Amino acid sequence: MKTKQAFNPYLPSWEYVPDAEPHIVDGRVYIYGSHDLFNGINFCLGDYVCWSAPVDDLGNWTYHGCIYKREQDPAAPRIRVTNGLAAPDMVQGDDGRFYLYYFMGGTKMISVAVCDTPAGKYEFYGYVKYKDGTPIGKRGEPFQFDPGCLRDDDGRLYLYTGFAFGGNPILLDGSQPTKKGPMFFELDPKDMLTVLSGDELRYMGVLTGDEAKGTPYEAQPFGEASSMRKFNGKYYFIYSSLNSHNLCYAVSDYPDHGFEYGGVLVSCGDVGLPGVPDTNHAHMCTGNTHGSLIEINGNYYIFYHRHSNRKQSSRQACAERIRFEDGKFCQAEMTSCGLNDEPLSGKGKYPAYIACNVYGKSGTRFMSMIKYLKKDNPFLTQKGKDREEGPDQYVANFCTDCTVGFKYFDLRETESIAVTLQGCGKDCAVTVRTKEKGDVVCRIPVESTRDPKSFRGNLPKGLGKKEALYFSVEGKGSFDFLSFELA
């Protein structure tokens, strides 16, 4: 039974869990992802944590704590900053235990940890290996990275890995990126480690690089983030393309070959949707993204992540309901309501960090590991170092002619709207629109304030059941946008 509305990001604003692989166990959705730190200098610097929610209450997430520490792996390099725990995946074995497959920088191997429960304390188990005991990745193969797992209906166990970006010498650590797309291994379900598919590398036909030219994969060649799901007897391979900001899919009747390009599932900047041709026009500053598909109660959802704090390494978990018709998925739109399955209530107070559109008058950019300049760019951030030490996230540098958008709300009974701000401005007003380039439906005069202060305006009657809200600043000013209230 639903007890809370669901927002994006669906975890608390102080939590940074990107690369999420969702799995259902005993009526709960468990999230297995890497773990960024707020303002971290690199990706994946935290240990693995786990969250879960009931399948019928996707706004009510429970924190299960740290489930696995980096130092538990015997091969863990001494230096963490360039050798974090990257995106994992989980699968249940014949013995009922739960196996966590992961990659750690500096090892070149795919490691495995095991636990008796889906979100308990995992223990190191071993390395995926060939029959002679050599770990995969130790024979000069293309770079092993971001493992994805599938336990098929017949009990066979499959592993998918690969990394096609050639310009990352620190991560590659002397290895070569794959030039033939993701790699495929069938594993022995008895020990969950040993490769049964032979010593010769097998590729799935999800193309990348030069091989993708002149094929349906040319616009979205394989980059990384392998994930496999099976729906209605067909295999759906989810991956992040070399464009990096989007998740794509390919589909086949088989788990290891015959894949045909399907399309884009989601972009972390809505790139590819009408009116958003490229990252310069994106609705959020973009970076990499990673995630997977899941079916919950007959509906399909795409899990992915967004970026915050003006750089790539403070990533947060998001999810959207996605349309699935005749075996094909249609690109999902970034929203604030995500897993809620319906527009948010038109009554109540909402934190500004659930914004799904944040950009300045000069547009957006693809972020790097170095913070971009504030200038006229609003951005998501928080006070405090990390986790609960700081207050909730907010939109900083809410400034002249920027746009901060939220989707969607049922505004049929809503009469007024209030914004809570903190900052400086002269002859300023906050304008509210229900369409990105539409007419102003409310203009709220605001003033400089050292402490958080609310300013209220009236909304017109006759607004609809599914409306967006776009906030902008008129006049010269820069504020922290903390929250808004609908009444």
CA 41, 6, 262: angle at the middle one, nearest 5? 75
Matching residue, tokens 């709207």 = 417
- 8 A C-beta contact, residue 248 and residue 238: yes
Question: Does 71 qualify as catalytic in the annotation?
Answer: no
Give the closest residue to 397 by CA, choosing from 425, 368, 431, 426.
425
The one catalytic residue in 36, 146, 224, 410 is 224
CB atoms within 10 A of CB 72: 15
Give the closest residue to 220 by CA, choosing from 250, 242, 252, 205.
242
The one catalytic residue in 19, 36, 256, 270 is 19
Sign of CA dihedral 287, 292, 297, 299: positive
Report d(CA 218, CA 165) in Å as an integer: 15
Report d(CA 407, CA 410) in Å as an integer: 10
- 8 A C-beta contact, residue 43 and residue 313: yes
Backbone angles phi, psi at 96, to 5 degrees: 85, -10
Give the closest residue to 97 by CA, choosing from 190, 29, 35, 31.
190
The secondary structure of residue 82, as a DSSP letter, is: T
Half-sphere exposure of 26 (CA within 13 A, CB side): 7
Matching residue, tokens 């303002």 = 39
Residue 151's alpha-carbon distances to 73, 160, 271, in angstroms, are 24, 12, 33
Question: Does 427 qualify as catalytic in the annotation?
Answer: no
- Radius of gyration over alpha carbons of the chain, in Å? 23
Give the closest residue to 24 by CA, choosing from 4, 54, 3.
54
Report d(CA 394, CA 383) in Å as an integer: 9
Which of the residues are catalytic? 19, 224
